[in-house]
Amino acid sequence: MSVTQSGSATYSGELEGSNAKRGLWSSRLAFILAATGSAVGLGNIWKFPYVTGENGGGAFVLVYLLCIAIVGIPIMMAEVMIGRRGGHSPVNSLRAITQRDGLKPAWKLIGAVGVLAGFLILSFYSVIGGWAISYVGTTASGQLAGQSADAVGAIFSGLLSSPATLLAWHTLFMALVMVVVARGVRAGLERAVSILMPALFVLLLIVVGYAMTTGYFGQAAAFLFQPDFSKLTTSGILVALGHAFFTLSLGMAVMMAYGSYLPKNISIAKTSITVSVIDTGVALLAGLAIFPIVFANGLEPGAGPGLIFQTLPLAFGQMPMGSLFGTLFFVLLIFAAWTSGISLLEPIVEWLEEKKGMNRVVSTLGAGFVCWALGIASILSLNLWADFDPLGFVPMLEGKTIFDLLDFFTANILLPLGGLLVALFAGWVMSRKAMENELALSPAMFNLWFVIVRFVTPVAVAVVFIYNLL
């Protein structure tokens, strides 16, 4: 397999696996669909509202938006650029670049961080994906119609209290992800993204429309967009930074993998910005849909990971055709989570194929099984082990269950660390000529980007880390 890509190859529709023909995306749109499919997921609709609620709203949102703009977009550009320059799976891309440019091979570590993060994230991501599956039945059955906040809360607590039910839905979600990865048929699903993502967007708009009728829309908008810096803590800044990585699928070399399929003549900056804007738009819309319902029903913004499952069902129980919209909404949420879940498992499977010479099906089964088994710890954290905080002796981690710790460690430590390595690689190691060539920006824009990845991102990540350790 040659290191340089041939510009004449076209995207063949079967681009997965080291043995598959490495075609290029037919268009910029195909790349945007795949990258958006990975980026838009539970992070936008489940996680963004609840971390915003937990961290006091506006000031947190502002820091999050700054992190997207100043750290997220430049790192996404760096990942896509490294992937395209290397032209292989992340580990092999880094090896190809380091060999070609006579650099130290240790940078392959970025790929290893990605594999570890993928395992850990997918284990709990799949449990939440299972909640979404469970809520398809809850909404479709019509049992939410006209329910009170207490009744809706009781349905959610009922789900969390049953390890067997959670396990069943977690198993189904993992199976969905594994089937696609094992068969290497991502292309079809990615094409589906072009219909399903806009549909999800429209449904969110419908819920926002309903939320406007509650009379609490203004209060919600103020909560989200009027920064009150007295509510911002150093750990809130860390969560905002970590969430910027999580929601854009950064720090795990996923965008690097997708970048290796991007044709040479397509602007990395424009595509990265497009993906980031769509992703942020979905998150903000989710916030505008959920917080009016929170305030209208006297719920707690800081309710934690259950927030959307305690608020959206209320809206679906009250609005006209709520059962229909609710069912559709959760089906679309499953699709969004599914395409993201695939992008979490894919790098692990590719790594097993390349490193261990295992075939795709065996590596999918093996990696999927490990994620699934690890997911059981997250399930038990919601009920039987709810009071077990294994690292409770560390002040910052007090009261965190295994599930909370997995989320915290991956999003707030591993992903920023992965991003830091990407920034250092692009900012200090890779040949500047090669990067100018790949990014094809005006000299001023290139310098702006370069200063960011060379100085701003590493310093920002380091400062946030150090502040939180102290």
441 to 266, 269, 319, 437, 438: CA distances (angstroms): 11, 8, 48, 8, 9
Q: Contact 342/40 with Cβ under 8 angstroms?
A: no
Q: For residues 38 and 412, which CB has a smaller minimum distance to ligand TRP in the complex?
A: 38
Q: Which two tokens stand for residue 335?
A: 């699709």
Q: For residues 160 and 415, which CB has a smaller minimum distance to ligand TRP in the complex?
A: 415
Regarding 412 and contact with ligand TRP (CB under 6 A), the answer is no
Q: How far is the CB of 214 from ligand TRP (least distance, A)?
A: 27
Determine the residue with CB nearest ligand TRP.
43
Stretch that binds ligand TRP, among 103-111, 248-256, 352-360, 428-436 (CB under 6 A): 248-256
Report how many residues bind ligand TRP under the rule CB under 6 A.
16
Q: How far is the CB of 64 from ligand TRP (least distance, A)?
A: 13
Q: Contact 347/114 with Cβ under 8 angstroms?
A: yes
The DSSP code sequence of 437-451 is: HHH---HHHHHHHHH
What does the alpha-carbon distance between residue 401 and residue 381 come to, in Å, rounded to a whole number? Answer: 6
CA Rg value for the chain: 21
Interaction mask 326-365, ligand TRP, x per CB under 6 A: --------------x--xx---------------------
Stretch that binds ligand TRP, among 93-101, 241-249, 294-302, 383-391 (CB under 6 A): 241-249
What does the alpha-carbon distance between residue 195 and residue 244 come to, in Å, rounded to a whole number? Answer: 25
Q: For residues 77 and 252, which CB has a smaller minimum distance to ligand TRP in the complex?
A: 252
The interaxial angle of helices 234-247 and 268-296, nearest 10 deg, is 120
What does the alpha-carbon distance between residue 391 and residue 394 come to, in Å, rounded to a whole number? Answer: 6
Stretch that binds ligand TRP, among 64-72, 229-237, 246-254, 444-452 (CB under 6 A): 246-254
Q: How far is the CB of 38 from ligand TRP (least distance, A)?
A: 5
Q: How far is the CB of 249 from ligand TRP (least distance, A)?
A: 4
What does the alpha-carbon distance between residue 461 and residue 74 come to, in Å, rounded to a whole number? Answer: 13
For ligand TRP, the binding residues in 40-99 under the rule CB under 6 A are 41-44
Stretch that binds ligand TRP, among 249-257, 364-372, 389-397, 431-439 (CB under 6 A): 249-257
Q: Contact 350/245 with Cβ under 8 angstroms?
A: no
**Which DSSP symbol is given to 6?**
P
What does the alpha-carbon distance between residue 287 and residue 185 come to, in Å, rounded to a whole number? Answer: 33
140 to 40, 106, 126, 164, 323: CA distances (angstroms): 24, 52, 21, 21, 6
Stretch that binds ligand TRP, among 181-189, 247-255, 258-266, 326-334 (CB under 6 A): 247-255
Alpha carbon 392 to chain centroid distance?
27
Q: How far is the CB of 246 from ligand TRP (least distance, A)?
A: 5
Q: For residues 209 and 304, which CB has a smaller minimum distance to ligand TRP in the complex?
A: 304
Interaction mask 12-51, ligand TRP, x per CB under 6 A: --------------------------xx-xxxx-------
For ligand TRP, the binding residues in 111-130 under the rule CB under 6 A are 121
Binding interface with ligand TRP (CB under 6 A): 38-39, 41-44, 121, 246-247, 249, 252, 254, 340, 343-344, 415
